[in-house]
Amino acid sequence: DIQMTQSPASLSASLGETISIECRASEDIYSNLAWYQQKSGKSPQLLIYAANRLQDGVPSRFSGSGSGTQYSLKISGMQPEDEGDYFCLQGSKFPNTFGAGTKLELK
Amino acid sequence: EVQLVESGGGLVQPGRSLKLSCAASGFTYSNYVMAWVRQAPTKGLEWVASISTGGGNTYYRDSVKGRFTISRDNAKNTLYLQIDSLRSEDTATYYCAKDIWFAYWGQGTLVTVSS
């Protein structure tokens, strides 16, 4: 199985701060990577797919980058509504595997 | 508007069975791969199973192979997950998700396995 190592596990950011979350795959996943946001008590929502494609309706302050085994999600200007848990997903091979998650809080 | 509505969860004893359903609307259901993803209480996300558009190809994580069966009825726009031989470690909220990127998720249905 492909292991997804996500970091950091938690992050505290100030309003307007730019933050990054990383995911490293145990093998090349050829940009088959997605990012999700999950707010407390809610279902996950897709933010980014195919490593760098912004899902419809997602604010442009979210962006994704990376290739091979290294990927990142950037939030350019933290907003209060960005608090929540963030997960990466590799869709290159079954079993699809998620990162362990990053808890993002507003400082 | 895409909508996915899961149902069928509940409290069940170990070893028993349960069948989850996911009613889809707002898109051409038969054109999309569908999946089940679960989340144990206070834990992360775990892919469970996926099914091709016509239902002919199914994929499972190892820990559920032989116990879970994913299926779909394209005439009814409904996805199913038959869960047999339930174990305590199957306790989770089960979400259905649309397409290979899990672009839309339902609200989830909670399955609690306990005696």
Each residue of A50-69: pLDDT tens digit? 999 999 999 999 999 999 99
Residue of A46, A97, A100 lying closest to B101 (CB–CB): A46
pLDDT digits over A27-37, tens only? 999 999 999 99
Angle at B59 between CA B13 and CA A9, to 5 degrees: 75
Adjacent-strand bridge partners of A70: A24, A67
What pLDDT sits at residue B71? 98
The answer, for B9 touching chain A at a CB cutoff of 8 Å, is no
> In which band, very low, low, confident or very high, does the pLDDT at A74 lie, cut at 50, 70 and 90?
very high
What pLDDT sits at residue A53? 98
The answer, for B27 touching chain A at a CB cutoff of 8 Å, is no
Give, in order, the Cα–Cα distances in Å from B51 to each of A41, A49, A50, B56, B72. Answer: 27, 20, 20, 8, 8
What pLDDT sits at residue A41? 93
Question: Is residue B109 a contact partner of residue A43, using CB atoms and an 8 Å limit?
Answer: no
Q: State which residue of chain A sits closest to B106, comparing Cα positions.
A: A43
Which residue, A49, A42, A34, is CA-closest to A87?
A: A34
Mean pLDDT of chain A: 98
Measure the N-to-C terminal CA separation of chain A; round to a whole number of Å: 36
Mean pLDDT of chain B: 97
Q: Which residues of A touch B35 (CB under 8 A)?
A: 96
Adjacent-strand bridge partners of B105: B97
Residues in chain B with pLDDT < 50? none
Residue of A50, A89, A94 lying closest to B102 (CB–CB): A89
Q: Report CB contact under 8 Å: B50, A96.
A: yes
How far off is chain A from B74, nearest CA to CA, in Å?
A: 23
Q: State which residue of chain B sits closest to A40, comparing Cα positions.
A: B42
Q: Percentage of chain A with pLDDT > 90?
A: 100
What pLDDT sits at residue A47? 98
Q: Report CB contact under 8 Å: B102, A44.
A: yes
What pLDDT sits at residue B31? 98
The answer, for B95 touching chain A at a CB cutoff of 8 Å, is yes
What pLDDT sits at residue B103? 98
- What's the DSSP call for residue A55? P
Question: Is residue B95 a contact partner of residue B39, using CB atoms and an 8 Å limit?
Answer: yes
Mutate to test the interface with B, among A96, A98, A102 (most CBs of B within 10 A): A96
**Measured distance CA(A98)–CA(B54) in Å, rounded:** 26
What pLDDT sits at residue B84? 97
**Measured distance CA(A78)–CA(B92) in Å, rounded:** 31
Question: Is residue A77 a contact partner of residue A16, using CB atoms and an 8 Å limit?
Answer: yes
What pLDDT sits at residue A84? 98
> In which band, very low, low, confident or very high, does the pLDDT at A12 lie, cut at 50, 70 and 90?
very high
- Sequence length of chain A is 107
What pLDDT sits at residue B64? 97
Q: Report CB contact under 8 Å: A95, B61.
A: yes
**Measured distance CA(B46)–CA(B112) in Å, rounded:** 16
> In which band, very low, low, confident or very high, does the pLDDT at A43 lie, cut at 50, 70 and 90?
very high
The answer, for B23 touching chain A at a CB cutoff of 8 Å, is no
